């Protein structure tokens, strides 16, 4: 059954800035996040929204924009938004390269009451280190099935797979469940996963114990792996 809650969805179009060189786009994300945060403040002060109902979702640099937006709101009210979902947060300039280690210079788990991350291209275009309350690592979080990039340093297919997982989870909210382990190797070494699994995507919630979660997916939409318990809607 598809996820049927009703939402008001606002899409942030920063395409003119995002199409600059990566370095220049990265320089603009703090301003974009601040403007988004000010817009959320406007909505709150005019009684259009309450912070416990705000959920910000961002991909790549957009993940860090979400963090800056939430920081702007927190500076105003000393209160965080409810949830941020980071879809393969951008790594260059944040996890490697000319980077800063300051927590307020990127998305982290202090920016919202609940921060969930999906890692799909770690160590390349996306971050690999855990930065949320819960971090999901489909297929180990580095390269995704069906993404056969000739240039391992530019695996955009794996990078955007986080968005595809998220979209698919709206229609199949129970299709992706991860198990808590310390590493992908530890997950693979277990022939049977007897522990409790938790949902990745739209149904992820603060009820999930903090930690890193691993799962396998297939190479084609809806990416449900044969080891995953299928649901009727599939």
Q: C-alpha 168: how far from its chain's center? A: 14
Q: Is 198 in a helix, a strand, or coil?
A: strand
**Active-site position among 63, 64, 85, 88:** 88
Sign of CA dihedral 66, 67, 68, 73: positive
Does the active-site annotation cover 169? no
Q: Which two tokens stand for residue 159?
A: 């990078």
**Active-site position among 59, 64, 159, 172:** 159
- Sequence-distant (≥ 6) Cβ neighbours of residue 82 within 8 angstroms: 51, 52, 53, 54, 55, 112, 113, 114
CA dist 60 and 87 (Å) reads 6
Q: Which two tokens stand for residue 22?
A: 């990566």
- Mapped to the 3 state alphabet, what secondary structure does 109-136 carry? CCCEEEEEEECCCECCCECCCCCCCEEE
Among candidates 98, 163, 170, 158, which has minimal Cα distance to 128?
Answer: 158
**Active-site position among 18, 60, 85, 197:** 60
Does the active-site annotation cover 159? yes
Longest Cα–Cα distance in the chain: 54
CA dist 222 and 218 (Å) reads 8
Q: Which two tokens stand for residue 142?
A: 């580095």
Q: Which residues are catalytic?
A: 60, 88, 159
């Amino acid at each position: 059954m598809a996820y049927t809650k009703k939402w008001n969805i606002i899409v942030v179009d920063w395409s003119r800035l995002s199409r600059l060189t990566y370095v220049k786009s990265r320089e603009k994300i703090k301003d974009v996040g601040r403007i988004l945060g000010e817009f959320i403040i406007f909505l709150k002060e005019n009684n259009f929204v309450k912070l416990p109902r705000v959920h910000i979702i961002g991909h790549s640099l957009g993940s860090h924009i979400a963090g800056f937006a939430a920081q702007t709101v927190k500076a105003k009210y000393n209160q965080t938004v409810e949830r941020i979902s980071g879809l393969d947060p951008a790594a260059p300039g944040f996890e490697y390269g000319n980077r800063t280690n300051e927590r307020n210079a990127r998305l982290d788990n202090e920016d919202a009451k609940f921060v969930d991350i999906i890692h799909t291209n770690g160590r390349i275009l996306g971050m690999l280190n855990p930065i949320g309350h819960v971090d999901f690592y489909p297929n180990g979080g580095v390269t995704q099935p069906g993404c056969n990039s000739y240039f391992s340093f530019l695996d955009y297919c794996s990078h955007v797979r986080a968005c595809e997982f998220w979209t698919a989870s709206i229609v199949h909210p129970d299709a992706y469940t991860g198990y808590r382990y310390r590493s992908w190797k530890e997950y693979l070494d277990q022939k049977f996963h007897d522990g409790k699994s938790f949902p990745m995507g739209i149904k992820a919630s603060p009820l999930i114990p903090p930690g890193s979660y691993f799962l396998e997916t297939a190479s084609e939409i809806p990416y449900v792996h044969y080891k995953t318990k299928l649901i009727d809607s599939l």
